[in-house]
Amino acid sequence: MHKSISGSSLGPDGLDLTQSFFKSILNAAPPSPTKRHNKISVIGAGNVGMAIAQTILTQDLVDELVLVDAIPDKLRGEMLDLQHAAAFLPRTKIQASTDYSVTMGSDLCIVTAGARQINDESRLNLLHRNVNLFKKIIPPLARYSPHCVLLIVSNPVDVLTYIAWKLSGFPSNRVIGSGTNLDSSRFRFLIADHLDVNAQDVQAYIVGEHGDSSVALWSSISVGGVPVLSFLEKQQIAYEKEMLENIHKEVINGAYEVISLKGYTSWAIGYSVANLARTIMRNQRKIHPVSVLAKGFYGIDGGEVFISLPAQLGRGGVLGVTNIHMTEEEMKRLKDSATTILELQNQLGI
């Protein structure tokens, strides 16, 4: 007996032992032709890809989870390690290959492959290395899963989402960057910590670039339906603009701090992306701050740029962009953030 790369058991004549073992049951009850086979592929089995994969597995989201990486031994090791947890997880077929044909028919392809930051390096510094990688990754993904939603995580995520859109030829609603879904979670954690409430009760968005020029939408923050700024005023709790700026700075520095301490970030992005995958696969129509084609929204009209805005997501990808209230200053910062990304994009000449 030997194992295929996906780990299923083959007999000496290449007979699939699983098939013959269950023959009578399969004959008695053929699977319903209408049953949908849900499939997610994760490209890049590094720190981030594996955190996403393991969080997705715990959520019972898919029938099949596929891993793709360029390093065969590491890839097979990661696949086996996850398969060995089968007794504790919802049933999911886990496959892995360096060949993109394994991703065929995916509903959602999540791209995490690529270089990551070292110490104080900016995300934007990774651009040229990761653009070259995307030229190899996106075309086969689009070919094997022409109807999938592409969810980009590799950095700099906003520009790479634009590149993925161009390389895939997909409509813009099916190309999304994980964007500031993670920054907004860091923001909600810090606000919750300050007010001693549950982060899930904090509605707060960071928009714009996933990175140094991100914008905190203070004017629309609410906790349990109570607008935070007017709540603080009513309680006669003095707050300084500087204090708010400091919380935002903590959000921006969050990734740098974790990277300087443990070398990379993984758990929060794993939960953040699995949360997006859940909304998309279950067609939940929830609103997430993610990187979308922003041209035409909030006065952003200087070119085709992907930056994070609160967007409603579902099975078809982006269903709409919400009309959230912004002050003039917030709007100006958002436009400046879009300009930062556009200038970088223009240097690429794509």
Residue positions annotated with a catalytic role:
210
Name which of 78, 41, 76 is nearest 61 in CA terms. Answer: 41
Query: Dihedral of CA 66/71/74/77: which sign?
Result: positive
Ranked by CB distance to ligand NAI, the top (closest) residue is: 46
**List of E strands, the chain:** 2-3, 9-10, 39-43, 64-68, 93-97, 108-111, 149-152, 175-177, 202-203, 206-207, 215-216, 222-223, 226-227, 287-293, 306-314, 317-321
- Asked if 186 is part of the footprint of ligand NAI (rule: CB under 6 A), the reply reads no
- Asked if 157 is part of the footprint of ligand NAI (rule: CB under 6 A), the reply reads yes
How far is the C-alpha of 282 from the C-alpha of 38, rounded, in Å? 10
Beta-ladder partners of 112: none
Of 89-97, 115-123, 213-221, 233-241, the segment contacting ligand NAI by CB under 6 A is 115-123
Binding site annotation covers 28? no
Q: Which of residues 219-278 bind ligand NAI (CB under 6 A)?
A: 264-265, 269
Binding site annotation covers 69? yes
Of 24-32, 69-77, 226-234, 339-347, the segment contacting ligand NAI by CB under 6 A is 69-77
Q: Which of 16/81 has CB closer to ligand NAI?
A: 81
Mapped onto helix, strand or coil, the DSSP state of residue 237 is coil
Q: 69 contacts which partner out of ligand PYR, ligand NAI, none, CB within 5 to 8 A by kind?
A: ligand NAI
- What Cα–Cα distance (Å) separates residue 100 from each residue in 37, 71, 126, 138? 18, 13, 24, 10
Q: Which of 114/317 has CB closer to ligand NAI?
A: 114
Q: Which of 164/223 has CB closer to ligand NAI?
A: 164
The separation between CA 104 and the C-alpha centre of its own chain, rounded to angstroms, equals 20
Total residues at the site for ligand NAI (CB under 6 A)? 31
List of residues contacting ligand NAI (CB under 6 A)? 43-49, 68-71, 112-117, 126, 133, 136-137, 153-155, 157, 178, 182, 210, 264-265, 269
Which residue ranges make up the annotated binding site for NAD(+)? 44-49, 69, 130, 153-155
